[in-house]
Chains A and B, each alone.
Chain A
Amino acid sequence: MADLNKTLDLKRQAGFGTVAIICLIILYAPILVLMIFSFNSGSQITKFEGLGLSWYAAAFENQEFYSATKNTLIISFTATIFSTIAAVLAAIGTTRVKPWPGMSWAFMIINLPLMVPEIITAVATLSFFALIAGAFGLNFGIGNIIIAHTVFCIPFAYMPIKARLEDMDLTLENAAADLYASPWQAFKRITLPLLMPGIASGTALAFIVSFDDFTITQLVAGPGQTTLPLFIWNQIRRPMTPEINAISTILLMVSILFISVSFIISKSRKS
């Protein structure tokens, strides 16, 4: 019966399922290996000697890890807040409105960070901050990294918010206006609550791209401005211990958590 179904299934192409499984193995095997060996009690990164949490304990006692976490959280939270606010305003200004002169340009500029290879953004931002530091004596310290992150977080926050707005029609806002709501009241009581899933999804994406960024941060960061990805980069250039597996696993879990949340929110709006 199963065989009959297979031959009758017109959509089926032989071997495609196998390739799909191979792709999943390619994508997940390295991550799983990393996670499994983070629970290794021995001192080898890929030789399992016994189950234990000792390397997590070591990581949490590591002063460098602690300060890298602190820097990362300061940078990611600030950049996420700034970029999400800017993205919400921009999405409202470019969605459900009559096209205004220059709107396509505005759209292009907002999405520019997605089109430029990261390494180019990184060296250009480095040059820019070096110039303003040299010419005006301005150095924002960790603020430089926050600014750089805000730039590339904006399009990531903008996309899901814009998508959500496109799904909403103006009926409810018009009804609010009919009931003598001021534009601000209509925004606060109607638009914003309806937009919340898009904003949540955008916030999650902005946070994760900032949290995970390595290339731009590596070039822009000054001494003592180590973030978690930079901390890992420093670690792999030394003799390695499973501590790096433990820290990497923590980073991956943060990514997976935020991505799943963003994914579930964006799927639930469609059903």
Chain B
Amino acid sequence: MMDAPLSPAAQVAAENDMAVSRRSRFLTLPSLFIVFVFGVLPLVLICIYSFLKPYQNGGVVWQFSTDAYLNFLFQRDIFDDTLQFAPDFLIIYGRSIFYALFTTVVCLLLGFPTAYFMATRPPEQRNWWVLLITIPFWSNLLVRTVAIMFIIRDEGLINDLLIYFHIINKPIVMLYTDFAIILGLLYSFLPFMILPLYSSLEKMDFRLVEAGYDLYASRWQVLKRIIIPLAKPGIVAGSLLVFIPALGAYVPPLILGGGRHLMIGDLIAQQFGSGRNWPLGSAQALILMAAVLVALYFYSRNETGPVKHG
């Protein structure tokens, strides 16, 4: 405590300058401790595991090895110990990237008009629209994916209805196909596209649209030359928010792919389960993480970059 008779306000100001900084650091400690010990250290641990040898019943043997990374592209021949090119994992990675890109494009094509429609509603209606899009965003993904499964099964709702109305006589196989997984991804991540697009369109200055029409632009020209360029930050943010989780998706391919069309997420989980190759699973997780970091890098560059007006 200070001896000089300071007013309480001045004391507060002095305290703000000195103690608050220390106190605020102290206040973040519980969160930092929990996330660091149980969130960051495990990630460091799988970095280490990816350079070790697998133990036959799961877990690791503490011996340095780069096999996990070599296994990504090659398979060791069991007879003469030579490495042979094996593209199995590469195919799964390629498939995951394709599914994720395809999902992102479809989400954008559906999400942009929806977000624009929401942003041009009267303000009191907008809140209801946002709530309607937010509810699936937070609802149980497993349950929602199971619901899709019930609808597209051979004996599911769509096939039953088509057979009932004699449009087809035997069910169309939809479950456990590429279509099923992409539908599942689209359905899971559509709100991730709509919400950021909406927040960038909501802030848009519609006087620019008006100016476009004054200069005899058609609706399509206004959309292409004014609205889409202004919504670009939202488009980039939404695309990444769909692409990143879609790339590492686990639940949709697990339930709707039935183990026939693996994605990276299933592959990683498999190495820690029936595959019993933790180092390989760790290496694959890190490769996925690297892909995510690249995407996040572009995102952060987009967010902080200068706003260009065409």
Contact = CB atoms under 8 A, between A and B. Distances in A.
Contact of B113 (A13, A233, A251): A13
Interface string A71-91: 000000000001101110110
A106 interface: yes
B142 A229 contact: yes
Interface residues of A, number: 97
Interface stretch (A49-57, A58-66, A92-100, A189-197): A92-100
B239 to A, nearest CB: 16
Interface in A211-244: 212, 214-215, 219, 229, 232-233, 236, 244
Interface in B124-158: 127, 129-136, 138-144, 146-151, 153, 155-157
A19 B110 contact: yes
B94 interface: no
Contacts of A82: 34
A124 to B, nearest CB: 4
B219 interface: yes
A125 B157 contact: no
Contacts of A263: 130-131, 134
A1 interface: no
Interface of B: 7-9, 11-12, 15-16, 20-21, 23-32, 34-36, 38-43, 45-46, 49, 58-59, 110-111, 113-114, 116-118, 120, 127, 129-136, 138-144, 146-151, 153, 155-157, 160, 186-187, 190-191, 194, 206, 209-210, 213, 219, 223, 244-245, 247-248, 250-251, 255, 264-265, 268-269, 272, 278, 281-282, 285, 288-289, 292, 296
Given A19-B113, A92-B27, A123 B143 contact: no
Contact of B9 (A29, A134, A174): A174
A45 interface: yes
B272 A219 contact: yes
A20 B113 contact: yes
Contacts of A117: 244-245, 247-248, 265, 288-289, 292
B285 A119 contact: yes
Nearest to B137: A259
A150 interface: yes
A89 B34 CA distance: 13
A151 B32 CA distance: 10
Contacts of A46: 150-151, 153, 155-157, 160
Contact of B289 (A116, A128, A251): A116
B198 to A, nearest CB: 11
The 3 A-B residue pairs with the shortest CB-CB distance in the complex, in nearest-first order: A117-B248, A93-B27, A30-B147
A69 interface: no
Given A23-B111, A93-B27, A16 B9 contact: no
A26 B186 contact: yes
B206 A10 contact: yes
26 contacts: A11-B209, A20-B117, A26-B186, A26-B190, A27-B136, A85-B30, A92-B24, A93-B24, A93-B26, A94-B28, A106-B28, A109-B39, A110-B31, A116-B43, A118-B248, A124-B43, A127-B272, A150-B34, A178-B12, A183-B15, A215-B250, A219-B269, A236-B146, A252-B140, A255-B139, A256-B135
Given A33-B151, A93-B25, A256-B135, A23 B30 contact: no
B41 A34 contact: no
Q: Name, among B27, B40, B58, B194, the residue most crowded by chain A CB atoms within 10 Å (CB to CB).
A: B27
A90 B28 contact: yes
Contacts of B191: 27
A16 B116 contact: yes
A128 B135 contact: no
Given A174-B12, A214-B251, A13 B223 contact: yes
A12 interface: yes
Q: Name, among B23, B28, B156, the residue most crowded by chain A CB atoms within 10 Å (CB to CB).
A: B28
Contact of A90 (B23, B27, B58): B27
A90 B285 CA distance: 29
A16 B219 CA distance: 12
Given A174-B12, A259-B135, A120 B289 contact: yes
A23 B194 contact: yes
A123 B49 CA distance: 11
A234 B117 CA distance: 41
A168 to B, nearest CB: 15
A97 to B, nearest CB: 4
A236 B149 contact: yes
B40 A112 contact: yes
